[in-house]
Structure 1
Amino acid sequence: MDMRRMLIRLCFIALYMMVSALPAAAADSDFGQRVNGLAEVKAVRVSTDSDRTRIVVDADKAVSVKKMVLSNPDRVVVDIPKAWLSPKVKKDNNIGSRFVGKVRLAQFDKQTVRIVVETKVGKNNYKVFTLKGGTVPGRVVMDFGNLSPDSLQAKIDLPGTTKPKPQPAEQPAKPAPEVKPAPQPKEEEKAPEKPAEDKDDELAGITGLKGRKITIDPGHGGSDSGAIGPTGVMEKSVTLRVAQELKRLLVAEGATVYMTRDRDTEVSPKGSKATDIEELQARCDIPNKNGSDIFVSIHMDSFSNGAAKGTTGYYYSLGSKRSRELADKIRSGVIDQIGTQSRGTQSCNFYVVKHTDMPATLVEVAFISNKSEEQLMNSEEGIKKAAQGIADGIADFFG
């Protein structure tokens, strides 16, 4: 009797083990069918500038999309048919910008990848389109912002409204990528352009940092995270850390330093309720009202191609006569300290360098979308070296 019970028990155990193995085998089979011939969704990139949040999903071949909108809360759902989601892709992304709350990716069925975006600007203020070719065979681009969908598309299609596409590091450095375009208010576009009145002649006769008035602008802040790196490092945090260290270095040399922000917050008194122009103008008001000698805005670059890297200096060509010199020297100082590739010094139309009354520059220290540069700029060493590089450039500018 005991022997019979033992045999029955062994049979049940063997049967249980066989049945338990079936789901795993079926799953492996399903995975193989899902991958075979389908586009692999390999990465998701998110960047935020003054007027939009851009989400770029990369695939290893050209893809199409299907869209729908949902309410309570407002969501935009984008399906990518004939695709599978790589397990390496981050599935849940807390963006926290003024335009987008969260972005989630999932394998909706065996042949469909679903992207769900929680939008803060309503269900109509978005644009979704696909790109193919180039270094990334297939891309889905989603823009969310205060502008109309047509205006958002126009920013991409019309010449002169965005920066040229960057090249990977292995190729010769050319123009910088299409990040942080400055909004252009219609009422200001009607006014004729004229060179800004600044302190060029006065500055030329004085050397050293002692007694200098310098405004530092850590890009983004508060509800605007700026670009977000592959591991989740936020641009607003990096720029603030660099700015705080830069202030310490400049004050030690006798300079008077004004910060547009010294913590994680918006600059405008209206906070997150401010319009983009109000927020940007609030940053310009600080150096203008305090009679600063120079204005330095600190940012991190971002692009959907993670190979893009390097440092870029920007200036407004119709502004101060010495703005390009300031941009050149700061860019060179940063490169000397952190060893990044030079992407040159370029003219731009960014609001903060266009509406300041003194030599002004916006420096893109490095690419937060590049994993190695993100890691560098999330380290204490990277922060200190970047700040030292900017300080060296400022000291060189003042002679």
Structure 2
Amino acid sequence: MRKLYLFFFALLMLIPFMGFEAQAATLQDARWVTRNDAPIPYVRMVMDLSAPVKASASISEDGKTTTVTLKNTKIGKVKSSMTMDSSIASSAKLTQVGKNVNVTIKTPKALDTDGIKVFSLKKDTVNNKPYRIVMDVQKQGVAPKSNYYGSKKTTAKSSSSSTKKTSSTSTGAATTISSNGNYKTSGGLAGKVITLDPGHGGSDPGAIGPNGLQEKQVTLPIAKYLKADLEARGAKVYMTRTTDVDVYAPNASGVDELQARVNVANKYNSDAFVSIHINAFSNPSVGGIATYYYSKTGYDAKLAQRVQDQIMNEPKFNGDRGIQEGNLYVLRHSDMPAILVELGFISNPTEEAALNTTKTQQSFAAEIAAGLASYFGG
């Protein structure tokens, strides 16, 4: 066994569980999904529990078997095995070992501690969700994608000004909704329709900082402050989510979740769509602020530049990373000018600390609002 890795990994995993009372828990459900909307694709396993538990883990000598042990837990009416993604994590087996449950994960390639994340989610009475343990297993042997959130090569949409009727078509999963195509690009913010998309949420925490801050815990308050700022300027604002929930469904596929967010903007015939995210990288010294766009309407780059001009000099962040064209799902499939802002790196401890303050969250909101006002000519 890789004892060094075991010690380090188990220590990381025990931190989130400290403070929980030791009590017997029942494993009530186990499910998985492949997420391709990330820099490195991964398989996510979610374990529903009747009570919080402590956990430890070990990786076999060849790196192809990882065992996560759920302490003081018994298996309920749950399937004992899951056949998953053969290219990332081929299977998981649940076994009762005394008072504990072992989750044995098989991977086609050797896995190290940096290839798996295990974290807990508290019971959510508002959204009727139990205690959960989430295990993310990254695909091995692939380089991170610089542009993600559903990247897939596609032909840019025409910037024709012809009117389209609002319609929807079934894709067998998430419904695709189209706008009427009559977005406005000038005349000031008053009366404009803007959709804000706080990245991640619910079963998807997004990137997690070295001190435990989750991306979803930052994007939502920034979006709420931004909504208030824009409404004070006379805009009509919609949000893809207003609480800590998935937009489509818990543990949905990346495409379904992203399409559900785009649908909100298209449904309300928005004049602009702003998706709010926080970046992450393996090197904790990397930082800075960027804005992504996808050239589909003729106005996307202008919108990105006007917003980036306002947010790029936020104090305590490592500079201006500029505007970048990104082949991102939410930017491609929204029918109006759209941007995705990356407000620093949560993996950078200094930027993570700043992002965790109301001052910075409100500042970013005010700066994005100013950028939108500049774009619309107000």
Under a length normalisation based on structure 1, what TM-score does the superposition of the two structures give?
0.60
Alignment match, 2:14:
92
1:321 Cα deviation from its structure 2 partner: 1.0
CA distance in structure 2 between the partners assigned to 1:257 and 1:290 by the alignment: 10
- Say if 2:318 is the partner of 1:334: no
Structure 1 unaligned segments of length 5 or more: list them: 1-78, 132-137, 164-177
1:388 Cα deviation from its structure 2 partner: 1.0
Are the equivalent residues in 2 in contact too, given 1:218–1:299 (CA < 8 A)? yes
RMSD of aligned C-alpha atoms?
A: 4.1
Task: Deviation per CA, 1:284-329: give whole Å up to 9, x if none.
Answer: 1111111100000000001111111010110113x12111111122
Q: 2:184 is aligned with what amino acid?
A: L
- In structure 1, which of residues 169, 176, 182 is the aligned counterpart of residue 150 of structure 2? 182
Are the equivalent residues in 2 in contact too, given 1:312–1:365 (CA < 8 A)? yes
1:330 Cα deviation from its structure 2 partner: 1.4
- Say if 2:115 is the partner of 1:141: yes
Per the alignment, in what secondary structure is the counterpart of residue 369 of structure 1? coil
Alignment match, 1:357:
335
Flag the 1:278–1:94 CA change in 2: closer, same or farther, 3 A. Answer: farther
CA distance in structure 1 between the partners assigned to 2:255 and 2:109 by the alignment: 27
Per the alignment, in what secondary structure is the counterpart of residue 262 of structure 2? helix
Alignment match, 2:365:
387
- Say if 2:251 is the partner of 1:283: no
Flag the 1:224–1:139 CA change in 2: closer, same or farther, 3 A. Answer: closer
Alignment match, 1:43:
none
- In structure 2, which of residues 220, 223, 230 is the aligned counterpart of residue 243 of structure 1? 223
Alignment match, 1:397:
375
Q: 2:322 is aligned with what amino acid?
A: G
Structure 2 unaligned segments of length 5 or more: list them: 18-30, 34-43, 48-53, 70-80, 90-106, 119-133, 163-180
CA distance in structure 1 between the partners assigned to 2:344 and 2:150 by the alignment: 19
Alignment match, 2:354:
376
Per the alignment, in what secondary structure is the counterpart of residue 221 of structure 1? coil
Correspondence 1:295-314 to 2 at 5 A: 295-314=273-292
Are the equivalent residues in 1 in contact too, given 2:218–2:356 (CA < 8 A)? yes
CA distance in structure 1 between the partners assigned to 2:156 and 2:183 by the alignment: 23
Correspondence 1:116-195 to 2 at 5 A: 116=67, 122=84, 124=86, 125-126=88-89, 140-142=114-116, 152=139, 156-157=142-143, 162-163=145-146, 180-184=148-152, 192-195=155-158
Task: Deviation per CA, 1:56-76: give whole Å up to 9, x if none.
Answer: xxxxxxxxxxxxxxxxxxxxx
Alignment match, 1:255:
235
Identity of aligned residues (%): 34
Are the equivalent residues in 2 in contact too, given 1:312–1:331 (CA < 8 A)? yes
Are the equivalent residues in 1 in contact too, given 2:203–2:251 (CA < 8 A)? no
CA distance in structure 2 between the partners assigned to 1:162 and 1:353 by the alignment: 16
CA distance in structure 2 between the partners assigned to 1:255 and 1:120 by the alignment: 48
- In structure 2, which of residues 250, 253, 259 is the aligned counterpart of residue 272 of structure 1? 250
Under a length normalisation based on structure 2, what TM-score does the superposition of the two structures give?
0.63
- Say if 2:192 is the partner of 1:209: no
CA distance in structure 1 between the partners assigned to 2:329 and 2:15 by the alignment: 29
1:194 Cα deviation from its structure 2 partner: 3.7
Per the alignment, in what secondary structure is the counterpart of residue 247 of structure 2? coil
Flag the 1:94–1:339 CA change in 2: closer, same or farther, 3 A. Answer: closer
CA distance in structure 2 between the partners assigned to 1:359 and 1:307 by the alignment: 32
CA distance in structure 1 between the partners assigned to 2:117 and 2:13 by the alignment: 19
Alignment match, 1:134:
none
